[in-house]
């Protein structure tokens, strides 16, 4: 993973965003992002795909059971452990898709790793469900004086990381083992489909962060839409949302947390104040005219092409009862749609952050 474009390009900013601090807003939020298509679509991929040589075997604190991966139709998944049930594979292909998504999100946020006004000296930072650790690595690099911990249920992180970062295997849907008020900033990204009780999750985050500290959550809607009517029922991209939602309902782990405003409610129930919620339109292909959004679309498409089989394989076969062959046909159809210049698909990413009150325990 050492030469990942994500690693190279992600630049953090901690500039305060006072103007955005406001009382909890009602759902849904206005969606940011342009929707002007570009005229001359160039189908050449100009994204660098030279990613990935993750070493998944070296997290020192692992118990042997964590490495007992399950295999499903050629992909590997986390070992069964506690309450954890994550829909995605934990292999290199899935990791490359996560790294591309990280790069896409960093561009989307204006070359920032977070939006919360945490200042220049963030202190102790926790990244929950860190995946390949790409966000935690970039954060630790950007703030060498910080102390960063990334947790996950799969040891899919590299061993060569900044000295101020360490990874721990931990199921975030159990009671957290970290001491009360022991972090200055808690970051949670893309846990949709992994969590039964979101209020319990953010109650744990509230407990773990210090009074005055910030928690930031980034989640993606799984519904794919278009403003020009080019995404319609029957298309693989359109049907992804309803199918993923159905699977999430069956596993009791919602995959429509953005669509349903779940995280905002969980933040407010936990007691966070100065909650800010922003929603961004993410082009799924490079159709926008705006150059930054075109880049977002390029990386979103690359991440989706790389990841799509992994997004659906477990949920569609084991939970929805599809055959592996049906999944492959569906994945191929989605790939064709992602390359179709006439389609202007987008989905919504939500960034939400809030502060633990100074007088809270």
Ligand X SMILES: C[S@@+](CC[C@H](N)C(=O)[O-])C[C@H]1O[C@@H](n2cnc3c(N)ncnc32)[C@H](O)[C@@H]1O
Binding-site ranges for ligand X (CB under 6 A) = 78, 84, 86, 88, 98, 102, 129-131, 134-135, 151-154, 171-173, 189-191, 194
Closest distance to ligand X from the beta carbon of 74 (Å): 18
Q: Judged by CB, which is closer to ligand X: 130, or 231?
A: 130
The tokens for 13 are 């900013």
H helices then E strands: how many in the chain? 8, 10
Closest distance to ligand X from the beta carbon of 95 (Å): 9
Closest distance to ligand X from the beta carbon of 169 (Å): 8
In this structure, what are the phi and psi dihedrals at residue 254, rounded to the nearest 5 degrees? -60, 135
**Exposure pattern of 1-20 as b/e (b: 16+ CB <10 Å)?**
beebbbbebbebebeeeeee
Query: Nearest residue to ligand X, using CB?
Result: 131
Q: Judged by CB, which is closer to ligand X: 197, or 274?
A: 197
Q: Read out DSSP for 266-331?
A: HHHHHT-EEEEEEEEEEESSS-BSSHHHHHHHHHHHHHHHHHHHHHHHHIIIIIT---HHHHHHHH
Q: Which of 182, 186, 187 is nearest to 210 (CA)?
A: 182
Closest distance to ligand X from the beta carbon of 314 (Å): 12
Q: Judged by CB, which is closer to ligand X: 219, or 277?
A: 219
Q: Judged by CB, which is closer to ligand X: 102, or 223?
A: 102
Q: Judged by CB, which is closer to ligand X: 194, or 350?
A: 194
Q: At what angle do helices 236-251 and 324-338 cross, to 10 degrees?
A: 130
31 by Cβ neighbours in 10 Å (0-12 / 13-18 / 19+) ranks as middle
- The position carrying tokens 């993973």 is 1
Closest distance to ligand X from the beta carbon of 354 (Å): 18
CB-based contacts of 111, cutoff 8 Å, min separation 6? 9, 10, 11, 13
Closest distance to ligand X from the beta carbon of 109 (Å): 12
219, 350 in Cβ contact below 8 A?
A: yes
Q: Judged by CB, which is closer to ligand X: 88, or 286?
A: 88
Closest distance to ligand X from the beta carbon of 176 (Å): 10
Q: What HEC string does 100-163 produce?
A: HHHHHHHHHCCCCCCCCCCCCCCCEEEEECCCCCHHHHHHHHHCCCCEEEEEECCCCCCCCCCC
Q: Judged by CB, which is closer to ligand X: 172, or 315?
A: 172
Closest distance to ligand X from the beta carbon of 119 (Å): 23
Closest distance to ligand X from the beta carbon of 173 (Å): 4
Q: Judged by CB, which is closer to ligand X: 167, or 272?
A: 167
The tokens for 94 are 């899935």
353 by Cβ neighbours in 10 Å (0-12 / 13-18 / 19+) ranks as buried
Q: Judged by CB, which is closer to ligand X: 230, or 304?
A: 304
Q: In whole angstroms, what is the distance from residue 125 CA to residue 273 CA? A: 19
């Amino acid at each position: 993973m050492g030469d990942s474009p994500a690693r190279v390009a992600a630049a953090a900013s901690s500039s305060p965003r006072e103007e955005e601090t406001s009382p909890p807003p009602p759902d849904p939020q206005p969606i940011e992002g342009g929707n002007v298509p570009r005229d001359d679509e160039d189908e050449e991929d100009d994204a660098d795909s030279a990613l990935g040589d993750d070493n998944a075997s070296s997290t020192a604190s692992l118990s042997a059971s964590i490495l007992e991966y399950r295999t499903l139709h050629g992909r590997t998944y986390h070992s069964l452990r506690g309450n954890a049930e994550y829909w995605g594979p934990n292999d290199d292909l899935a990791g490359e898709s996560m790294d591309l998504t990280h790069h896409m999100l960093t561009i989307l946020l204006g070359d920032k790793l977070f939006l919360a006004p945490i200042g220049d000296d963030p202190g102790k930072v926790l990244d929950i469900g860190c995946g390949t650790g790409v966000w935690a690595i970039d954060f630790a690099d950007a703030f060498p004086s910080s102390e960063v911990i990334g947790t996950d249920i799969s040891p899919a992180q590299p061993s060569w990381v900044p000295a101020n970062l360490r990874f721990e295997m931990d199921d975030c849907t159990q009671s957290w083992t970290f001491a009360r008020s022991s972090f200055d900033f808690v970051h949670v990204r893309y846990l949709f489909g992994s969590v039964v009780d979101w209020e319990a999750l953010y109650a744990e985050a509230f407990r773990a962060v210090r009074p005055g500290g910030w928690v930031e959550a980034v989640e993606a809607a799984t519904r794919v839409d278009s403003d020009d009517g080019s995404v319609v029922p029957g298309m693989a991209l359109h049907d992804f949302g309803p199918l993923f939602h159905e699977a999430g309902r069956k596993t009791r782990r919602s995959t429509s947390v953005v669509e349903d405003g779940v995280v905002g409610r969980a933040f407010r129930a936990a007691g966070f104040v100065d909650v800010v919620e922003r929603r961004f339109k993410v082009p799924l292909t490079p159709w926008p005219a705006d150059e930054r959004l075109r880049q977002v679309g390029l990386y979103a498409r690359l991440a989706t092409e790389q990841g799509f089989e992994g997004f659906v394989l477990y949920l569609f076969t084991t939970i929805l009862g599809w055959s592996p062959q049906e999944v492959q046909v569906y994945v191929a159809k989605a790939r064709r749609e992602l390359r179709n210049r006439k389609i202007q698909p987008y989905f919504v990413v939500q960034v939400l952050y809030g502060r633990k009150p100074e007088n809270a325990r």
